[in-house]
Amino acid sequence: MKRQYRLRKNADFQKIRRLGQSRSNRLVVLIALPNRLSHSRFGFSVSKRIGKSVHRNKVKRRMRESTRLRIADIKDGWDLLFIARVPIKAATYQEIDKAIFVLLKQLKLLKI
């Protein structure tokens, strides 16, 4: 994912958690907050409850790839924070992809 689309600062993550609106399902929590940019930015959080670093990074890569493939379909001007829940460590890529799609749809963040 290109640098302009990534959330990297802890302050940004905290602001989204504090002020954003959220939806969740069994695998992922999505928190969205409008920004004043011409593009959307994405952040991914996977806690140590998911497992050791190998497992956390695998989950993060899967969430990032699912989002990257949909970047053109996501509305501009939003900061989106994806937080992994514990059952995600046993989920397949297709299950993660579907969970992310459903959450984006619930928050009406898709152009289609």
**Tens-place pLDDT, residues 73-98:** 999 999 999 999 999 999 999 999 99
- pTM exceeds cut of 0.85: yes
The C-alpha atoms of residue 79 and residue 15 are separated, in whole angstroms, by 10
**What's the average model confidence in pLDDT over 44-72?**
96
**Sign, CA torsion 99/87/9/57:** negative
Would you state the structure tokens that stand for residue 54, as one six-digit string? 């190998």
Q: How confident is the model at residue 102 (pLDDT cuts 50, 70, 90)?
A: very high
Structure tokens at 101: 């799609």
